[in-house]
Structure 1
Amino acid sequence: MIINRRNSASRHLERSEKSLFALSSLILIASVWTLALPASTADLPFGPWTRAANEPILSPQGSTWESAGTFNPAVVFHNSKFVMLYRAQDASGTSRLGYAESTDGLHFIRRHDPVLSPEADYEKDGGVEDPRLQKFGDTYYLTYTGYNKKDAQLCLATSRDLIHWDRKGVILPSYKGNWNKGWTKSGAIVPEKIDGKYWMYWLGTAPSETGETYKTDQMGLSWSTDLLHWTEATATPILPRRPGMFDSRVVEPGPPPILTDGGIVLIYNGADDQLVYRTTVAVFDRRDPRKLLYRSDAPLFAPEKPWEKVGQVPNVVFVEGMVRQGNRWLFYYGGADKFVGLAEASMK
């Protein structure tokens, strides 16, 4: 958490005034840190992350729709099974969503055919990418990226069985919004209504504010009353990039957030100026999803294994799936835009 420093006091202050100012400043800083304590690392719902498998749990196969990559999965526990929707890429770069099931969360059996393939104009040629799943009532809401080789836009589809999907279209168009000047992707929907509204963290693109020629991917926040029509909640990114840090270039939501008594726990993926992707966490106020309580200054997870460092895109771990199993959390991630990996952490 970054606290803005006050301007230094005037050198013409009397000694007593200086002492009083210093004391009040210390009290102010202490009070700010006290307010931040409920969202400290000690209050996160999970402990340190470790790899549950040293090798990929899903890899490309065959010569058709999933031959180049199988990565960036969403995972839920449905009908007593772990169900994974994963991004599958063919040799031409077109993406589809594959379906796999598991009884233990580690060993998955795939369906022969994809469950979502590019059909709409906003998906053609590029495909459907990077799923995230949230359930309300008996309906699953799938946010995904529709990519037509020109624009990437955040889209929505619904299903009750995770196999048959009803497209709802683009929910956040590209090149529109309060601050977004490019693509929209990666919608992570908060699991409960807050203040009578649904809330979703997402990725948008902003021009560099410090003079670089490239654009940067930063995080936005929108709300909705029906999950179909979304309104931006802020005029600027809700979670901006941090120059010089591991999330200086990309700040992108991971799986749907966890709600705790301490706040909205959002796992997110960040990339530095060399586009090395790591995973970390931020916490927002449970009563006001716009209010940031805590943001980690260090990654939770980083590429280490050869298959996380070498692939279609090098040096990437990208978490999109998360399931609670007993007294542990399972985190499903893409490795180097080619494989699916599994990490775990104990539940607090």
Structure 2
Amino acid sequence: MKFRAALFALLFSIAAAHAQTLPDWGIGPFSRPASGNPVITPNPQSKFDDPILHAPVQWEALHTFNPAAIVRDRKVYVLYRAEDNSGTMQIGMHTSRLGLAESVDGIHFTRRAAPVFYPAEDDQKAREWQGGVEDPRIVELEDGTYVLTYTQWNRQTYSVGIASSPDLEHWTKHGPAFLTAAGGKYAKLMYKSAGIVTRLDATKGRLIAAKINGKYWMYWGEGFIHIATSDDAIHWTPVEDAKGDAIELLKPRAGHFDSTFPETGPPPILTNKGIVVLYNGKNATSGGDPELGPSAYAAGEALFAANDPKHLIAQLDQPVLKPELPYEKTGQYAAGTTFAEGLVFFHGKWFLYYGCADSLVAVAMAPGPQPPANVARGFYLRPEDRVVVYGDSITEQNYYNQFVQLYTVTRFPHMRVHFYDAGVGGDRVTGGWAGPIDQRLARDVFVEKPTVITIMLGMNDGGYQATTPQIDSTFKAGYQHILDSIKQHAPAARLTLIGPSPFDDVTAQPTFAGGYNSVMQHFAEEDRALAQQDGATFADFNPLVVAALEKAQSLDPRVAKLLLPDRVHPEPTAHWVMAEALLKAWNAPAIVTSVTIDAKAARITGSENTAIDQLKREGDTITWTQLDNGLPLPFDKANALTNVLLEISDIQKTLNQQPLIVNGLAPGQYALRIDDRDIGKFSADELAAGINLADYNTPMRSQAQVASWDVRDLVDAHYVHSRMRIQNAGTGAEDGGADRLQAFEDSLEDKIYAEAAPVPHHFELKPVTAAAPATSGR
């Protein structure tokens, strides 16, 4: 029987994969796994002491269906609706509670013995008893809070309830979503099915609630799909038309799978194509989709504009998932359902969790968005990218971009990337002394044929005063003009919008209430909203630099003042913190190399980003040769400013990890030598716990240091080159010949990548005699 079920699933998955060709914005095609479905089924053995009945109930005895899903701690968590065996045998007449299950592979789940969300003796009892809590959808906010939308059903009326949790197990109920909207206008409305718009966060690798134009957005309703907005994801207001009615975005379509009505599915996803809304459609008893049974539910997709979530761009005519297998077509809902409510990005794929005939939970999967084709472990940049770093005088300082370039060169020496600084002091979103914005973009950005553009503006746009509506509107309009111009002249370029670095209100008193840095933080939120609207990456320099200032202030206020000596322009130490923020947003890996050795067995038990050869053990001495694919950042603790950086930031932890772990050594001290250099002396326990080679003066760090000097020279050369363009000074190109400065820049770049190229290193680890002192070469 199991073989037949697996065969049927495989055949149906193959058929589904060829059922329709999706447009480039669609998610899919979905296919069911060959085994494992249904993933959650009823369990009459589960009992729960109900807080209202004060008696044990078989809370998931009859049906388990309609699931929400979220990724947490590298697992998929599913909140599923479970019906007990109370009430009459009729849909909606049992009590529903929400169970919680977790999975490391997205298919095989372990469940909690008791529900985690249920009707109780609380202020929502009148709305939830005896029908219960039904049909959840869930999102994660930026701060890690989980927000749940669900149906409150007391067997007389229903509404969308909102709840929040820090951990998926302890919940705070906030009541109906629209209770206070429009002066209570919607307080008695009967409505259900609500999904908050999300986005795929590149750094977190999972879906996070998205803000568009500064607000959260939620698609809601059955019969007609509507939309609402919120400032906090808790209290919601429906968007209305000119007559004051909630606008209708999706409606029934005759002859289609949604011919009776559409109903909101899982939380929609903001992509670079728009907002993909996956929804459930109910087929009409007559005049519907002839390939579906009467009243069957299937899942479809629609696309809405990223910058206007009300505007429908496209809608699929065919469902992406429909009842096909026996357990999807028979059960409590005899007409059959594939009722989609949970969608997560997990292990590089989309996992869609759906209810089967109001009885079971199943999963289907689809290919995820393709990562950059650069073998760089998810790093944002790609081979031969041309990165233009645009901004004002803080960018013109040529430090944070230099440090990002150094990281890219040393961590990915096989992947050549070209960087061009385009910072000019005093610039605003409208331009500055070097020309109005359109001239600046044409001369300093588009001429480089960029594939990546970063933008950091705002320090001058605020006027060093409290913001005003005029300042705010000028900034937003000017920034939007820049983005529109890039779309026109460099449409293939990938954008990273950067929240401006801080004005120092930490070591000196603010000059007005709230301080000028609050204006920078406000501009950062505007940048974030624009990034979400345009499908761009967002990086925020402000929080990390402020945190570093505060840490320095607590250690030594005199040192803290040196980080932004004029309160505006960061010194190189603070620029390293800014570079860290940008690299984090670009999913930069922390690992340089990682090696684990079993000394007793003389074998490698783990390695990353390196090739190891000629591992030998002679007595208690171990030797091997190592060819690394990357170099560490050259942080030298003998440099006082480097020590300040490492003390006020976590950059070594997040970007510069080179662990060497050696297990199975006899107790005692061991000396590590690389090539002809003594690195340090370590105990067997220290080596078993692991040492970070990036902390030490290794040949690899020296190699990176040499490359860093030439990266600095290259950045300086391009600065001169760009200033000659601004001043219309001759470089040879304007006379029809070769650009001599560009040729010089190219030669420096060749030199840098030659210096960063991997070379083999010989490692030796040997016991230290008892008389030898324990020292290290940090």
Normalised by the shorter chain, which TM-score bucket? Answer: 0.7 to 0.9
Is contact 2:338–2:355 with CA below 8 Å preserved after alignment?
yes
Larger radius of gyration: 2
The structure showing larger relative contact order (alpha-carbon pairs under 8 Å, at least 6 residues apart) is 1
Q: Deviations over 1:288-340 (max 9, x none)?
A: 00000111111111101111111111211101111112332111110000100
1:264 aligns with 2:275: yes
Among 47, 52, 62, which residue is 2:28 paired with?
Answer: 47
How far, CA to CA, are the matches of 1:97 and 1:65 in structure 2? 9
1:292 aligns with 2:312: yes
* Secondary structure class of the residue paired with 1:42: coil
Q: Which stretches in structure 1 are left out of the alignment for 5+ residues?
A: 1-39, 205-216
Among 177, 183, 191, which residue is 2:190 paired with?
Answer: 183
Q: 2:103 is matched with which residue?
A: 102
How far, CA to CA, are the matches of 1:180 and 1:281 in structure 2? 30
Q: How does the TM-score come out when normalised to structure 2?
A: 0.37
1:116 deviates by: 0.6
Counterparts of 1:1-348 in structure 2, within 5 Å, are: 41-44=22-25, 46-53=27-34, 55-62=37-44, 64-92=58-86, 93-119=94-120, 120-136=125-141, 137-172=143-178, 183-191=190-198, 192-204=210-222, 217-235=223-241, 236-273=247-284, 274-314=294-334, 315-348=336-369
Q: Deviations over 1:19-43 (max 9, x none)?
A: xxxxxxxxxxxxxxxxxxxxx9332
Pick the structure with more strand per residue: 1
* Secondary structure class of the residue paired with 2:363: strand
1:181 deviates by: 9.4
How far, CA to CA, are the matches of 1:181 and 1:112 in structure 2? 35
Q: Which residue identity lines up with residue 168 of structure 1 in the other structure?
A: H
Is contact 2:178–2:238 with CA below 8 Å preserved after alignment?
no
Which runs of 4 or more aligned residues in structure 1 lie more than 4 Å from their structure 2 counterparts after TM superposition? Answer: 176-182
How far, CA to CA, are the matches of 1:45 and 1:251 in structure 2? 18
Is contact 2:178–2:186 with CA below 8 Å preserved after alignment?
no
| Alpha carbons of structure 1 residues 170 and 182: separation in structure 2 relative to 1, 3 Å | closer
* Secondary structure class of the residue paired with 1:308: helix
1:182 deviates by: 5.7
1:228 deviates by: 2.5
Q: Which stretches in structure 2 are left out of the alignment for 5+ residues?
A: 1-20, 46-57, 87-93, 199-209, 242-246, 285-293, 370-778
Is contact 2:28–2:320 with CA below 8 Å preserved after alignment?
no
| Alpha carbons of structure 1 residues 262 and 179: separation in structure 2 relative to 1, 3 Å | farther
Q: Which residue identity lines up with residue 298 of structure 1 in the other structure?
A: Q
1:178 deviates by: 8.8
CA RMSD of aligned residues (A): 2.2
**Matched residue pairs, number?**
296
How far, CA to CA, are the matches of 1:248 and 1:141 in structure 2? 31
Q: How does the TM-score come out when normalised to structure 1?
A: 0.81
| Alpha carbons of structure 1 residues 203 and 69: separation in structure 2 relative to 1, 3 Å | same
Is contact 2:159–2:189 with CA below 8 Å preserved after alignment?
no
* Secondary structure class of the residue paired with 1:307: helix
Q: Deviations over 1:222-261 (max 9, x none)?
A: 1111223222113331111113321021211111111111
Is contact 1:76–1:84 with CA below 8 Å preserved after alignment?
yes
Q: Deviations over 1:48-95 (max 9, x none)?
A: 111125531110111510011111111111112211110000122110
Q: Which residue identity lines up with residue 85 of structure 1 in the other structure?
A: L
Is contact 2:331–2:357 with CA below 8 Å preserved after alignment?
yes
Between 1:236-245 and 1:40-49, the stretch displaced more is: 40-49
Q: Deviations over 1:90-136 (max 9, x none)?
A: 12211000011111111101111000111221001000001111111
Q: Deviations over 1:250-273 (max 9, x none)?
A: 211111111111100110000011
* Secondary structure class of the residue paired with 2:328: helix
Q: Deviations over 1:131-153 (max 9, x none)?
A: 11111121000000000001110
Q: Which residue identity lines up with residue 70 of structure 2 in the other structure?
A: V
1:199 deviates by: 0.6
| Alpha carbons of structure 1 residues 313 and 320: separation in structure 2 relative to 1, 3 Å | same
* Secondary structure class of the residue paired with 2:279: strand
